[in-house]
Structure 1
Amino acid sequence: MSTVPSFPALSAPGATGVGSMPGTDAREAAKTVTGSLEALPHLPELPARGPGADMIGRSLGLLVELYARVEPSGWRLGDHPGRDTRRAHSWLGEDLDALEEFTQDWNGPLKIQAVGPWTLAASVELQRGEKALADPGAVRDIAASLTEGLRLHLAEVRRRIPGAQVLLQLDEPSLPAVLAGQVRTASGWQRLRAVDRGVGEEVLRGVVGALDAPVAVHCCAPSVPIGLLRRAGAAAVSLDASLLTERDDEAIGEGVESGTVLLLGVVPSTDRKLSDPAGSVSGVRTLWRRLGLAPALLPRSVVVTPTCGLAGASPAYARAALSHSVIAAQSLADNPE
């Protein structure tokens, strides 16, 4: 059995962003992220620029020998690269240029994000108009193409930032719906058949296991299949902490005790009055006590994040939310009990 790459050790209390940031200025976003997140900066995504900068479009742009274009109904696979693919490549290059500028001489963990195979298949249509998720062969083609694209992307990030210990975050917000048969057909009138959990795990494991980087899987939906993600090889699971229930306790406890890191979204991702940072993580301490986990595990098992991406926030709030996450993580480190 292959060894799962470990989550990188952090030199400061763990805090990071989920991915997206407000605005359209790549340099400003990179400056904010690298200036705010000392322990785990990330490659910003700026969906306000339009199709190709959104999470689905950016990840479709990573595919190898598969191409997509924007139709009135959304993203659809095509047989050759077009304007939308070129635009996705251009914006990703612009974002990497900006991140490279602000990470000169960087040595340490760095997070990049891409959409995982199941959410990608649930979000893009085949040429004939149905969701790719409806075709098991198309799902496997997307997974294989994405895997190769991610290999190239990881190599490019490492070339630009040689000191980076790269952590890959796979965004899978649609995974619970995929497994529960809740993804609507392209027409919207019906729902696609549920994907067997064994198949869901197998496809994810194929992607994760083929990459030479630790993988965190992010899902900001209820009923995250934490155990499935762990078995698929995820070194970390990223969750909206406000959506957790006692039904998740066993999977969380088993994950922490086996070394899985939790990226817990506790800071609101849209503009609102922020509470005291220590108060933001009080629920994390409550969870720890309820599970009977050792307090000493908490600082090295939890990374504090906003509840989701910050694209819908104002620039000022996005900066405040990242800083708040860092202070909240420090609070956990100073007082885990």
Structure 2
Amino acid sequence: MSEKSEFRDCPATGIGSMPGGDAREAAKTVTGSFADGRGMPHLAELPGRGPGADMIGRTIGLLAEIYGHVEPSGWRISDRPGRDTRRARSWLGEDLDALEEFTQGYEGPLKVQAVGPWTLAAALERRGGEAFLGDPGACRDLAESLAEGLRGHLAEVRRRVPGARLALQLDEPSLTAVLRGRVRTASGYRTYRAVDRQVVEDTLREVLAAAGGAATLVHTCAPEVPFALLRRAGAGGISFDFSLLTEREEEAVGEAVEGGTRLFLGVVPGTDPASGQLSDPGGSVMGVRTLWRRLGLNPGTLTESVTVTPSCGLAGASPAYARAALAHCGRAAKSLADNPE
């Protein structure tokens, strides 16, 4: 099955996080925004609830036989599952319950998110306070634990929503910093050595393979997206903030499209705009049409190659704006389909 067919019926989706702390309200908003073929619902994340609901803590709660607890500096490895790990698992269970409630009888695409192995290695501290990133062996162990945890997580989602076609999104906002040696050590006075690109690629491939047949994508809201590396690692889709795309990267985007990679383009602001409203769906995707023309791509491929998203997560938005932004993504995707030229 081609990646494009795996992402069918995905004209729009959200990135992951939502504002507030009400799991049922978030699940209702996400599933309602993308019902009836308008897009791909996703398992909402609510970092506003505190440590354990943040994206790092949530993913630590998924790990197999690796546990964490919160220190003033962030998340640090633990010998056993303590209060913070249990809280992360409890909140995930609450989110899954809410998703299951609002997807009764649902058949269609459904996305779940987790932090990828390299962003996780840059954030999770070893016992001495330094990140896993500084120890290649620890990074390997972490990736293996993440892959095993994701297999169990996806099996649980399949059990709860049996009609869903799952997609796994790995969030890798620190990936470029890992590749370029920009992640700072605990002291802040130096940075960790850049990780070899082949090691980064191989590790991502291993974790993406844990999807077990589900569609896969990698999301980053940071500049300098390594498009070619992500494609080689097996990502069927690449999600990024469209406003950060540079002319130098456009050729890589064109190659991705021609190679069958789905682009998840963040064109809708992730926080409340100064105007307070979103009124022009066609205007939101005007830059996408312009890029297609500049690259000489067939406008008819837009709908099979592009999914419209917010520029990043919506945790920092107001609840009203988050609802409006997801609905606007659907309308912008429809505008792209109706008027590709």
The verdict on a shared fold, with TM-score over 0.5 as the criterion, is yes
Residue number in structure 2 paired with 1:262: 263
Letter of the structure 2 residue corresponding to residue 40 of structure 1 = M
* Other-structure match for 2:320: 316
Are 1:18 and 2:15 an aligned pair?
yes
Q: Which amino acid aligns with 1:269?
A: G
| Distance (Å, rounded) in 1 between the aligned partners of 2:17 and 2:319 | 12
Question: Contact 1:22–1:314 (CA<8 Å) still a contact in 2?
Answer: yes
Task: Look up the match of 1:77.
Answer: 77
- Counterpart of 1:87, as a letter, is R
Residues 38-57 of structure 1: pairs in structure 2 closer than 5 A: 38=35, 39-57=39-57
Distance 2:201 2:40 in 1: 27
Query: Which residue pairs with 2:63 in the alignment?
Result: 63
* Alpha-carbon distance between aligned partners in 1 of 2:122 and 2:270, rounded to the nearest angstrom: 24
Match of residue 202 from structure 1 = 202
Q: Secondary structure at the match of 1:17?
A: coil
Does the Cα contact within 8 Å between 1:6 and 1:214 map onto a contact in 2? Answer: no
Any residues of structure 2 matched to 1:1-337 within 5 Å, and which? 8-11=6-9, 14-38=11-35, 39-212=39-212, 213-272=214-273, 273=275, 274-337=278-341
Counterpart CA distance in 2 for 1:83 and 1:291 is 52
AA at the equivalent of 2:311: T
Deviation at residue 258 of structure 1 after TM alignment: 1.1
Q: Using the TM superposition, name which of 193-202 and 220-229 deviates more.
A: 193-202
Question: What is the deviation of 1:49?
Answer: 0.3
Q: Cα distance, 1:118 vs. partner?
A: 0.1
CA contact (8 A) 1:179 1:194 kept: yes
AA aligned to 2:187 is S
* Pair 50,144 (structure 1): closer, same or farther in 2 beyond 3 Å: same
Among all aligned residue pairs of Structure 1 and Structure 2, give the percentage whose two residues are the same amino acid. Answer: 69
CA distance in 1, matches of 2:322, 2:185: 35
Q: 2 CA distance for matches of 1:164 and 1:188?
A: 44
Give the drift of 1:209.
2.3
Query: How much has 1:299 moved relative to structure 2?
Result: 0.9
| 1:179 partner amino acid | L
Contact 2:285 2:336 in 1 (8 A): yes
Secondary structure at 1:157 match in 2: helix
Aligned counterparts of 2:211 and 2:307: Cα–Cα separation in 1: 22
Query: What are the superposed Cα offsets for residues 105-153 of structure 1, whole Å, 9 maximum, x if unpaired?
Result: 0000000000000000000100121111000011111100000000000
- Closer, same or farther: CA 301–5 of 1 in aligned 2, 3 Å: closer
Q: Name the Cα RMSD after superposition.
A: 1.2
TM-score normalised by the chain length of structure 1? 0.97
Query: Partner of 1:218: helix, strand, or coil?
Result: strand
Report if the CA contact (8 A) 1:76-1:125 is conserved: yes
Matched AA of 1:20: S
Q: Is the 8 A contact 2:4 2:304 kept in 1?
A: no
Shift of 1:6: 5.9
CA distance in 1, matches of 2:218, 2:155: 20
SS at match of 1:62: coil
**The residue matched to 1:20 in structure 2 has which SS?**
coil
Number of matched pairs: 334
Q: Which ranges in structure 1 are unaligned for 5 or more consecutive residues?
A: none
2: distance between equivalents of 1:259 and 1:87?
40
